[in-house]
Structure 1
Amino acid sequence: MKILLLLQVLCLLALGYGALIKAPTSRTNLNVGYVTSGDKLLHRVNVYQPPIANAIQYQDVVYRGNFTTWISAVQATEVGATQYATPWIIAGGIGYNNVTVRVQSALGYGYYYWIDIWGR
């Protein structure tokens, strides 16, 4: 009976440890807002940074429209194999006439993203 309990505990520990060492497999894309029929592509830029060992890299993409511009969607799409980078909005955004998107790499990795800004 004690051996059976010990085997069960070892199996549970092995399953838990296996879940901890798995690398993330999903892409990290940014999709904020909606593109409707009246919207047009205001700005498109690609950001690329090759990996550098033991470094975290980032880049800010800034779009400033005139005062009549209204942003309705911001999309950052990862290109190619995932490199575990993260994009997010740090200023402005939906409903504003400006937006700043930051793309930050994981430690020792790079990134390659297409950033689209839609609006009227």
Structure 2
Amino acid sequence: MEVRKYLHESLNKIIYIVIILIYTKTIVANENVIKGRQTFVDCIAQNGDKLIYNQHHEANGTFLGVQKETILYPEKGDEREYIITCIKVYDNRALTGPNEGKTEIISGGVGQNSVIIRVQSARSKGYDLDVEIWGRKI
């Protein structure tokens, strides 16, 4: 009976640890770097926000090549008139299969007046993204 009780308690602890590891991995995967078929959304939208950036970004894949792009808002030389309230990067290829590329915020972002977004495709693949940035006048 003691062995059975010990095994039962040990199994419960192992299950608990596995659940924590899976949960932690999910949280880390969703922090600023989005891989595969996911769409990146970092948003604290409010009534009255204005669409301040709406661009399509696309690059074709090349054999064994990796496509990269750095997206700046505002572009160099432009005034920083808005506080960013929402950033949305839609992966238009998500419906056709996993892309395995990544999108990450390098600096700035929600609550700031600028953002630098880095986009990188998977090897031999391109990307097809729509980027929206919403903001509120300073």
Aligned Cα root-mean-square deviation (Å): 1.6
In 1, Cα distance between equivalents of 2:123 and 2:81: 40
Using the TM superposition, give the Cα deviation of residue 31 of structure 1 relative to its aligned residue in structure 2, in angstroms: 0.6
Corresponding position of 2:109: 93
Preserved contact between residue 67 and residue 126 of structure 2 (Cα < 8 Å): yes
Question: Following superposition of structure 1 onto structure 2, how do residues 23-102 of structure 1 map, counting pairs within 5 Å?
Answer: 27-64=37-74, 66-80=79-93, 81-82=96-97, 83-102=99-118
In 1, Cα distance between equivalents of 2:88 and 2:48: 17
Contiguous gaps of at least 5 residues in structure 1: 1-25
Change in Cα spacing, 1:60 to 1:67, as seen in structure 2 (3 Å) is closer
Using the TM superposition, give the Cα deviation of residue 40 of structure 1 relative to its aligned residue in structure 2, in angstroms: 1.1
In 2, Cα distance between equivalents of 1:91 and 1:99: 6
TM-score, with normalisation over the residues of structure 2?
0.63
Structure number with higher helix proportion? 2
Q: Which moved more, 1:75-84 or 1:97-106?
A: 75-84
Number of aligned positions between the proteins: 95
Using the TM superposition, give the Cα deviation of residue 84 of structure 1 relative to its aligned residue in structure 2, in angstroms: 2.4
Structure 1 residue ranges (4+ consecutive) displaced by more than 4 angstroms after TM superposition? none
TM-score, with normalisation over the residues of structure 1?
0.72
> Partner letter of residue 88 of structure 2?
Q
> Partner letter of residue 90 of structure 2?
T
Q: For 1:62-112, what per-residue CA distance to the aligned partner results, in whole angstroms no more than 9, with x for missing partners?
A: 012634411011110011334222111111111111111111101111000
Give secondary structure in 1 for the equivalent of 2:38: coil
